[in-house]
Structure 1
């Protein structure tokens, strides 16, 4: 599906976070004069704390506290110098202790984010390539993107898909010096693991492969000397592995560390590593606390602490097995994720647990896809076993109530996470609502459909009958669409909601940067369906406008929307499509908060353009109403060409003319990578040519009237709207005859002659249309994806040279 462009991405994150803040879930403040780790005070309530990343509880260890206090008394609150010049007196001891833990070279960094920014650009050469697991932590992805400026290719694979990784390895094995695969050891949301053993086998098979692991969530609670999950799997650190750990989180102090067995590489990083050189060093208190923690890690006590935690983790796992809660990944890490699916369900569930006395984290976009929202529970040594049992009991009780209150079901949640529900459950239709879904417009009464959906674009009853004939029974799958016509009525037969839905193949880069699409189109020359997805959408790729009739004053209005979404999700499951899209909405739609809570992300579509003619009798009268600037544009950039061309209104082409205009359309389609879609089936033009509601405006040179240099393909919608659906152009003569501008003017002239009150000028070329008086309307779609992979991969491709 269409990529979320950077500003849209940030706007989406802002919308989601704002919604969660308003629900009392994010950006909270802990209260009280002290903190034990076992409980946390929020909103004047003492809650059992199941949201910490200090799994061993070392941040409350008296030895770490005393060391930090003593360091402040001796050295002050900070040591304000770059480490490149001189380190505070405690650094040497910390590095010595950490080296003993790992048995190899280590570098201390201010934190993992700055560490990645310092290390990745230092170790990756210009003739290398980076491959990211798409769930690798944001801080790693962000650091890798810095290398775009050096033209280092960055690829992405689906989470833990080693077949996909090997395919990328084969792609680069003969052209790149090193191939860097970057992943987490333990993933922070679901608590699942990197398949380290299998990855090492790939490393032996492909000697150019290098590994960069961020194992900050695997630290301390597992492994020899608490050195983490990755090193626990490896035994010792190979030369082709760089490993990041943390001195914060479970370690109990602050900072991060990089360990590396390649001394030359280690020296290169330590000598100059961007933020490692220019950023402030760790405060004396943090260094001293880290030393105290390292000393614990170097004694058998660390294994007692690990075992103590594992007892609690095993208890939680055993208790969850006896419930119907959707645990997304079953493993032995202290991180658990209970899926809620939609954000609104997550808000409800978290608030219920807080009222019961438990604090948990909400996992939300962009850390997870919007419809994969859920509750992240972390187990620590602070948690007493009776509190763990009480939490599971509370979740088991409140989860179905949260589903019910937010009008969702076990089935929808389990499907969102590709889980199989252990209970059977029927989705109940909302009482007093009746959904009609037909597979052909011929099964809908013409007058009934046109009353609620006619008068727009090409989707009155006659237009949809035309589209069905065009996009069915074609040889190529991208030209075969499934149509569904949905009417939702109340018990009196009043239509509350109406729409038509298509299931069709979309290019994932439809709205991506044209340069990105150009690169992808090169790959489609050998793999025509590369980066394409089945999408179930209101409306179609042939139409634009308000694809949803919705009586928002009806008392069952929201229930009708929810029924539509459930219906589309069921269709998505049946047809194995990846994405649901609701289009086209204006920015201030009252449904925004509701759709966002249902797991939809808002994305900007190309603006649409309309002209309201308001019974203007002639083209001269229309031009006279334009602004002085736009009249000047007409006189300077359009009028001089009118004497050089012949304009015709054609109701039916000859065979040779039809071939001409089809080629002209093909020219435009190939050049319009800013809205990158599949071409239309060849029979479209023949069916248009034979249809009474389609006509064509053509432009030809005055001295070559048989040569068409431009054509507008126009649909006459029930004398209510004139629709120039798309255009064909001869680009070699575009400037010579001002073809496109002439076609726009003649479209307005034809609409006036037909006494049609409105022109739907469609998407793209908004600037040219505005200069002829068109009103520009920003449009948005709401998208619900199976996962974030395609969005993130296209984001990686943006900016690559």
Structure 2
């Protein structure tokens, strides 16, 4: 089975976060000997604080502070014992007061993350199923990973997509007990709400549906007794609803609470709920502060706090509505998100606001899609009306400056967030008036000599090879392998080529670079739903080619500007096509404009390594082993040369109809077995066109002693004008070739053929790099840059990867 190097999600996140950290925006430290909630000091500079999630400012209330101080004096800094054995003296009072607030007895946990870890595995039975909103908080999604070990289905839907939710409910209803939908009440990035009333209607339609809400961002500033957004919306806690809330954030203390109307279930979770049983309990200071906060929540004072915050929130909302700032979600929560589009614009804007004395939060991947980077502003009781007015003024000014300076526009940002386009800001040309871009949709309209000079010496990218690709895929009746072609040539004023590339637009499987176990899981679903988890992708190059798809005149003074022009043009095409994703493929690590691309709204992923043999001075083929290392030479003599005598080898420019049918079946054998790179299989027309197109040939292997001279192996190879030999596809009879090292022999015969043709370079592709390296191939690390409209597919792939890896 071919092995490839798969991208690691953690590495991608680390790259994004590290970039923001280097810009001085993330992983900062507050300074000073005290905090007051309104002013925060960072790097020696005092700033107005618009980043807190303590919306009512109760964490600075003297009553909570005094209660915490007295508790430490009376009970110590902690009570180091599990609550299973003994709770410290303040716990009973806290539980009683929270029950007064909600009318329901609570379960109290150390924090909401540990709460989800305690509650979810106990709440969800083996016969149940779970559906997650893909923007549900990480702590909820992480707790659900444990369920998969028990074989419990855990599905995911796009954010607030009720149509998709209903489809999942129907799918699960016949084979599950309860179906739990898990969502946030108020989402932490955009400040938008779960569609609670619609969900209640859906629960009435489907009695199996149960609702699990994480309402930590809806707490205190909303509802009777400050019980939060969800309780304010549902009124009464029905048996099919559970709610997790918080004693931290707006509540001003620490800890989290869980509510359900089923007393037996509540007792079961409290009796044995993982962290509830085995972890330490809340410190006396935290419990005392929470009790003091309960007293405020149980008094009329809470409504004064809510009203004051609502006044400030409404003031900020009015200021934003009167500006041209792209507010992503309009609602009455204290959380606001301004769309910036690219990280570059967000970094620029944030640094400008920092310099003006305003602290606010960066919203970046994976919390939001990379092209939906933005700024989260939170309004709290600490902010004065004049602070809020000054912030709005500064944002309106600096937004236009940041957009212009980073080459973006209001139109682009609103397009990225699928918002109504209100205005068009001037776009900074950045010397692009000195460049001319040509766009073609067929290689026929491009000069053959010029194309071959810049891109044609790579892979099968010569003019004839591109013609083959167009004729084979652009007219394909199968939508899964039908591609549109776009060619871009950027020239300077002297008509010199500065950049040249081509792109294809088609359908990709979302698991193309996922692990084989994920692909096998999805392929079972695709037996009845062939387009399940697929996306429309605009990509440099094509799925049929690899290597250098973009020529750039690196020393040209307008090289960087030409690449920026390409990114803008591709984004324009991406939007006009309604594509789901842009992919810039096959750049070598350390690409010169790596940071610029990422700041433009892409994240970098590792691609499978490319394998290449370069030898412009071939020695005698009989002495090929002398080119290899000692260890590889031993492998070559033992595993390859030893078996060559069992094969007859024939090179053919054209196959008979019967041979073509057999070769196609052998290709299908390999495709069905190898999901390391999961693309749609090519239909027979792809191979029929090879048979009639110049520069294609076939290396045919048969076994000498077989009673019938049937094909057991075939390599489908392209000869690129003497520049490069490309074994593009392979076909094998695994049964007949068993014990004869068929795959290794096909690789070796490919090398022999390239030497016969005096072609010094062999592009060996991107799988089985270990085997190819033993035959003298160099392994070249490659990266790609990806921009997607949302994170749904990527997050689901990561979830499935975790699930299938665990199952193994």
TM range (shorter): over 0.9
Query: How many residue pairs were aligned?
Result: 798
C-alpha distance in structure 1 between counterparts of 2:559 and 2:228, whole Å = 52
The correspondence of residues 158-307 of structure 1 with structure 2, limited to 5 A, is 158-307=158-307
Any conservation in 2 of the 1:470–1:681 contact (CA below 8 Å)?
Answer: no
Alpha-carbon distance between aligned partners in 1 of 2:57 and 2:779, rounded to the nearest angstrom: 58
State the distance in 1 between where 2:421 and 2:329 align.
Answer: 14
2:407–2:427 Cα contact (<8 Å) kept: no
Give, in angstroms, the shift of residue 764 of structure 1.
0.7
Task: Report whether the alignment pairs 1:656 with 2:644.
Answer: no
Unaligned runs of 5+ in 2: none
> Could you list the per-position Cα deviations for residues 500-529 of structure 1 after superposition, in whole angstroms to 9, with x for gaps in the alignment?
100011111111121221121122122211
Matched, 1:62 2:62: yes
- State the Cα distance separating 1:727 from its structure 2 match: 0.3
Q: After superposition, give the CA deviation of every residue in 1:423-476 in whole Å (9 maximum; x if it has no partner).
A: 135756522111111111111111111111121111111110110011122221
TM-score when scaled to structure 2? 0.97
2:773 counterpart of 1:751: no
Counterparts of 1:240 and 1:5 in 2: how far apart (Å)? 45
Question: Tell me, what secondary structure is at the counterpart of 1:680?
Answer: coil
Equivalent position of 1:369 in the other structure: 369
For residues 5 and 49 of structure 1, the distance between their equivalents in structure 2, rounded to whole angstroms, comes to 44
Matching residue within 585, 589, 592 for 2:591: 589
Q: CA, structure 1 residues 166+250, in 2 after alignment: closer, same or farther (shift >3 Å)? A: same
- Kindly indicate whether the alpha-carbon contact (under 8 Å) linking 1:248 and 1:255 is maintained by their aligned counterparts in 2: yes
- Measured in 1, the distance between the counterparts of 2:229 and 2:602 equals 35
The answer to whether the 8 Å contact 1:79/1:281 transfers is: yes
Question: Residue 786 of structure 1 corresponds to which residue in structure 2?
Answer: 789
Alignment partners' CA distance in 1, 2:760 and 2:91: 77
Contact kept? 1:363, 1:376, Cα under 8 Å: yes
- Structure 2 contact 314–332 (Cα < 8 Å) conserved: yes
- Give the TM-score of the pair, scaled to structure 1: 0.98
For 2:115, the equivalent position in structure 1 comes to 115
- Larger mean CA deviation between 624-633 and 784-793 belongs to 624-633
Q: Distance in 2 between matches of 1:229 and 1:550?
A: 54
CA distance in 2, matches of 1:34, 1:407: 41
- For 1:665, the equivalent position in structure 2 comes to 667
Q: Provide the secondary structure at the position in 2 that maps to 1:383.
A: coil
Give a deviation string over 1:508-563, Cα, whole Å, max 9, x none.
11111212211211221222111111100000000000112123332222222211
Q: 1:709 aligns with which of 708, 712, 729?
A: 712
Corresponding residue for 1:48?
48
C-alpha contact 1:502 1:537 (8 A) present in aligned 2: yes
Q: Deviations over 1:544-590 (max 9, x none)?
A: 00112123332222222211111111111111110000010222222
Question: Aligned partners of 1:454 and 1:75: how far apart in 2?
Answer: 78
Shift of 1:390: 1.0
In structure 1, distance between residues paired with 2:129 and 2:700: 50
1:715-730 equivalent positions in 2, closer than 5 A: 715-730=718-733
In the TM superposition, residue 6 of structure 1 has moved relative to its aligned partner by 9.0
Mapped partners of 1:196, 1:498: distance in 2: 51
Say if 1:701 and 1:737, in contact at 8 Å, map to a contact too: no
Q: How does 1:553-564 map onto structure 2 within 5 Å?
A: 553-564=555-566
Measured in 1, the distance between the counterparts of 2:374 and 2:643 equals 61
Residue 389 of structure 2 corresponds to which residue in structure 1?
A: 389
Distance 1:459 1:788 in 2: 32
Maintained 8 Å contact 1:369/1:788: yes
Aligned partner of 1:443 in structure 2 is 445
Output the CA distance in 2 between the equivalents of 1:425 and 1:404.
8
* Superposed counterparts of 1:605-644, under 5 Å: 605-644=607-646
Distance 1:577 1:450 in 2: 29
- Alignment correspondent of 2:684: 682
1:760 aligns with 2:763: yes
Per-residue deviation, 1:357: 1.4
**2:356 and 2:779 mapped to 1: Cα distance?**
51
Instruction: State the partner residue of 1:131.
Output: 131
- Which range moves more in the overlay, 530-539 or 558-567? 558-567
Distance in 2, matches of 1:752 and 1:426, equals 57
- Matched residues in 1 for 2:355 and 2:374: separation? 18
Say which is worse superposed, 44-53 or 732-741, in terms of deviation.
732-741
Aligned residue number for residue 601 of structure 2 = 599
- The equivalent residue for 1:155 is 155
**8 Å CA contact 1:83, 1:280 repeated in 2:** yes
**Paired residue for 1:497?**
499
SS at match of 1:710: strand
Alpha-carbon shift at residue 774 of structure 1 (Å): 1.0
**What 5-or-longer segments of structure 1 have no aligned partner?**
none
Question: Per the alignment, do residues 7 and 488 of structure 1 end up closer, same or farther by CA in structure 2, a change over 3 Å counting?
Answer: closer
Structure 1 match to 2:481: 479
RMSD of Structure 2 on Structure 1 (CA): 1.5
CA distance in 1 between partners of 2:5 and 2:401 (Å): 37
- Cα pair 1:154 1:797 within 8 Å, conserved: no
